[in-house]
Structure 1
Amino acid sequence: MSKTTLPPFPSVLKQLAALGERLRLARLRRKITAELFSERMGVSRETLRRMENGEPTIAVGTYMRALRVLGLDGDIDKLARDDELGRKLQDLALPQAQRRRRAPKSPTSDGPTKPTRV
């Protein structure tokens, strides 16, 4: 059976390209060469090039190794931490308290009063 891969959404391609660029800049700020960085990550220079270009076929584990080498691996814990939409959907599914409107009781009567005719 052949494996079918769906093309990524255009917005995902932009996000991956931006992530790759941020990782490249982080590497350059630390004055780490591409050769040394790929060696520390345990990947080929070609894989590093593809990652820094934001190719969608790069495995998440490769990104994790890059973050680890750069000392940024704690940033991965921030992903999807605050699921605001999920909480709102969950709150909508909670049972709603039913509000009952009752006629206010008068302090002098024991029950509802009947209207008097004039």
Structure 2
Amino acid sequence: MPSSVQKRSGAQVALPQPVERALRRLGQDISTARRMRRLSQEDLAQRIGTSLSTVRRMEEGYPGTALHTFLRALQVLGRLDAVLKMMAMENDVLGMELVREQLPQRVRTSSRSKRQARQPAAASEGGPHAGTDELEGF
């Protein structure tokens, strides 16, 4: 049975299992990183400006812990940049594939572009654009 989170309105909201697992895993990883750096929970709490109980809940994966608390802990542990790099758009394989699927199969020349394409003939005869690069402004 999925656990639930108490919202301010008093309503219960069930979290999907993958989200619960991810929160627990993130909390465990923060705990491990903290201990590897020989920091106590009290030290981490002081450095991120929160209470000891908040650090304990975060490390347990409590869903009510604010996102900024996780991010501040990651910053103190030197792992924030790694999370940001992982979330960078160029690493979003699915998102990039969806964008590629929506690219047009071909691109037609507009009537304006056709008129501009005719002008280089005049330019070669010493017109106002004589001597300019063909791809200028491309």
Change beyond 3 A, Cα 1:22–1:91: same
Amino acid at match of 2:98: L
1:10-21 matched pairs, under 5 angstroms: 10-21=17-28
Between the aligned partners of 1:62 and 1:76, the Cα distance in structure 2 is 14
Q: Does 1:48 align with 2:49?
A: no
Tell me, in whole angstroms, the C-alpha distance in 2 between the residues paired with 1:24 and 1:77. 20
Point out the structure with the larger strand share. 2
Which structure has more relative contact order (CA 8 Å, sep 6+)? It is: 1
Q: Which has the higher helix share?
A: 2
TM-score (norm 2): 0.63
Give the aligned CA root-mean-square deviation in angstroms: 2.1
Structure 1 unaligned blocks of 5 or more: 98-118
Moved over 4 A (4+): none
- Aligned length in residues: 98
Evaluate the alpha carbon distance shift between residue 77 and residue 41 of structure 1 in structure 2; reply closer, same or farther with a 3 A threshold: same
Corresponding residue for residue 132 of structure 2: none
Aligned to 2:41: 34
Structure index of larger Rg: 1
Unpaired runs of at least 5, structure 2: 1-8, 107-138
Please report the TM-score for the alignment, with normalisation by the length of structure 1.
0.73
